[in-house]
Structure 1
C-alpha cells in the first residue's frame, strides 16, 4: 500500500513540474533596480515595475491568497489580492519546465501588451541565479520574489511552475500546475478578455 502512495505522490509532483521541497537555499535580495549577479557584479534587470493592486478582496471565495511579496528588479511590493486582469506565473531558475516555458510567456507578454498584465513570481530560488536567467532570456514582464516558497502551497500546488489568471473582478478564473502549452495561453487570454 505504501508503494502505491509513494507512486501517486511522485506522479503528482511529476505532473506539476518541479518539487519545491528540494529547492536550493537563497539569500534575500533587497528590492531595487540592480541585482547582484555571479560574483557580486550588478546587472540591471529590464523588467516592468510590479503592477498595482487595489488591496480590495473580491466578493466570493475565488480570490487569490492574501500574500504580499517584494518586487524583483523594481522597488516596492505587490499584493496578490487586488490584482486585476493579470496572469501570474510562479517559477524558479532551477526548475526545468519553468525555464522551458519562459520564452513562450515572454512572447505572450509582447503580443498581449497592456491588455493583460503579467507577473512572474520567483519562488525559493537564489536571486542571483534568477536574475541571470531573466537577463539571459530577455524577460521584460514584472517580477516578484517569494523567498520562503509560500505561494505554490497557498495555490494548492505541490511544485513549480504554477500559473493563475485573475480576471477584472479579482477572481481566479484559471489555474494550472505544470508547464504551460500554447493552448493554455489561449484559454487564459480568452478568460481575461471577457
Structure 2
C-alpha cells in the first residue's frame, strides 16, 4: 500500500516542481526582457547642470528651507550614481511606484511640467519599492521621459520622515526643500500652482 501511494505521489511532485521552475523561468524572462529594452527615461547626466534662468524675478524668499538629504541613488539608465545634494534646482522630485494608482494618475502631469518649463526647472522621478519591469512599463505606457533614480530601500522617504506615496518635493535653486506635498495625485493646475508659489517659476499653459 505504501509503495503504491509513493508511486502515485511522484508524478504529482514532479508536476509541482515543473510549475515552480516554469514560474521562476518566466520571472527571469520578464526581468531579462525589461533589462534588454531601451529605457524610456532620460539619463541622469544633466541633473547636476543648473536649469536656464527663468527671466523673471523669483518671489521666493532667499532664506528658509532645509537641505536635501545626503543620499546617493542609482540612475534607472545606469551610469554614475547621483548625489541628491548635487541636483541643481529649482527642481521638482516625485517619488512613485508602478503599483501606486495615484502615482500612475499624476505621472503624465509631471511629464507635461518638464516640457512646459522648457529647461527652467528640473523634474526628477524617484522610483521606490518597485520592480524594474513595472517601472519600465509605466514609463513606456505613459510616455514618461524625465530622469528617474531608483530607491528600493526607501532611504529618501525615511530621511524625509514620510511613508506614503506619491510624494513630491519642491527644491529651490540653492538645493533647499521648500515644500513636501503628500496630498495625493496632482494635476496640471495644482502642480503649476505649487511651482509658482514655492519656487517662483511660472508654468506656461
Same fold per superposition (TM over 0.5): yes
TM-superposed CA distance for 1:157, in Å, is 1.6
Where 2:156 maps in the other structure, the secondary structure is: helix
| Aligned position for 2:39 | 45
d(CA) in 2 for partners of 1:52, 1:82 = 6
Match of 2:91 in 1: 86
Tell me: CA distance 1:140–1:70, structure 2 relative to 1, closer, same or farther (3 Å): same
Indicate the structure (1 or 2) with the bigger Cα radius of gyration. Answer: 2
The alpha-carbon deviation at position 162 of structure 1 amounts to 0.4
Judge conservation of contact 1:53–1:79 (CA < 8 Å) in 2. no
Report the CA distance between 1:60 and its aligned residue: 6.8
Distance 1:37 1:131 in 2: 15
Compute the displacement of 1:132 (Å): 1.2
Aligned length: 155
- Secondary structure of the equivalent of 1:152? helix
| Preserved contact between residue 116 and residue 192 of structure 1 (Cα < 8 Å) | no
Q: Summarize the Cα distance change of 1:79–1:187 in structure 2 as closer, same or farther, 3 Å threshold.
A: farther
Asked if 1:65 is matched to 2:69, the reply is yes
> In structure 2, how many angstroms separate the alpha carbons of the residues matched to 1:121 and 1:113?
21
> Over the residues paired in the alignment, what is the CA RMSD in angstroms?
2.3
Structure 1 segments (4+ residues) deviating >4 Å: none
After TM superposition, the score normalised by the length of structure 1 is 0.72
User: 1:77–1:188: structure 2 CA closer, same or farther, 3 Å change rule?
Assistant: farther
Counting helix residues as a fraction of each chain, which structure ranks higher?
A: 2
Q: 5+ residue gaps in structure 2?
A: 1-27, 51-62
Q: Which runs of 5+ in 1 are unaligned?
A: 1-35
User: Which of 145, 149, 155 is matched with 1:150 structurally?
Assistant: 155
**Structure 2 residue aligned with 1:179, among 167, 180, 185?**
185
1:37, CA displacement in angstroms?
Answer: 8.1
Q: 1:37 to 1:174 in 2, by over 3 A?
A: farther
Partner of 1:193: 200
How far 1:61 sits from its partner (Å)? 6.1
Pick which of 96-105 and 181-190 moved more: 181-190
**In structure 2, distance between residues paired with 1:181 and 1:44:** 28
CA separation of 1:60/1:66 partners in 2, compared to 1, >3 Å: closer, same or farther? Answer: farther
Deviates more, 1:63-72 or 1:147-156: 147-156
Larger strand percent: 1
For the residues of structure 2 that align with 1:53 and 1:71, how far apart are their CA atoms?
Answer: 16
Q: Identify if the C-alpha distance between structure 1 residues 39 and 142 changes in structure 2 by more than 3 Å, giving closer, same or farther.
A: closer
